[in-house]
Structure 1
Amino acid sequence: MGKVIGFELNSQDSEKSVEFYSNVFGWKVAEPRWGYREVDTGGIKGGISQGPHDYPHGTRIQIEVDSIDVAISKAKDYGAMIVRDKMEFDDFYLAYLVDPTGLGIGLIEKK
């Protein structure tokens, strides 16, 4: 299960965001309440909501995964665009992608 530190994702297509994150990372997403869906990632909780037109997309977040290669493959299957493929650093691997609704996220795999 992908873990994050904390977040709120704004999206112009929140249903598509819910489908993407629950299927790719196994997140548990609650039913909508006032246009906001609570999200349990197994780490800090966050939410997915319909972004306002003057700020339609949220800020990129960092998601820790067990296997960056598996996560990238699943993300592509669900419509993600890879911005920067897997990069190697001293203690971790990092990749950047954009989900199917245009939200930027980073993937981190610790060595």
Structure 2
Amino acid sequence: MAHGDITHIDIPVSDMARATAFYSGLFGWNIAEMPGFEGYPMWQAPNNISGGGLAPRDDGFEQPRSYVEVDSIDDTIVAAEAAGGSVARAKAPITETSAWAVIVDPDGNHIGLFEGVVGG
């Protein structure tokens, strides 16, 4: 993936088993938990390119969220705020080599940011 690519889409769900059955049956997605990410099953589309996760729904996460790969989350946050955006979730590590954050655009849309390499 490169800077600006959509890397991941999280779907908020209230019942993991029901959501897994729904999406795997409807779209043929392969859905499985990965070591180190228990309780957060990852989905992979049949094209082996598109993917994301099924994440627990909560008050701050009620709609699907796309994640965009960036070279620097810190720089992207500065640029987003300068352009009228804000931060919904501060930068946090995923692994030793990757991190995520969530910004809000001027229209109130939440966009995830991804930096680094998962697992590597």
TM-score, length-scaled by structure 2: 0.45
Which of the pair has the greater relative contact order for Cα pairs under 8 Å at 6+ separation?
1
TM-score, length-scaled by structure 1: 0.48
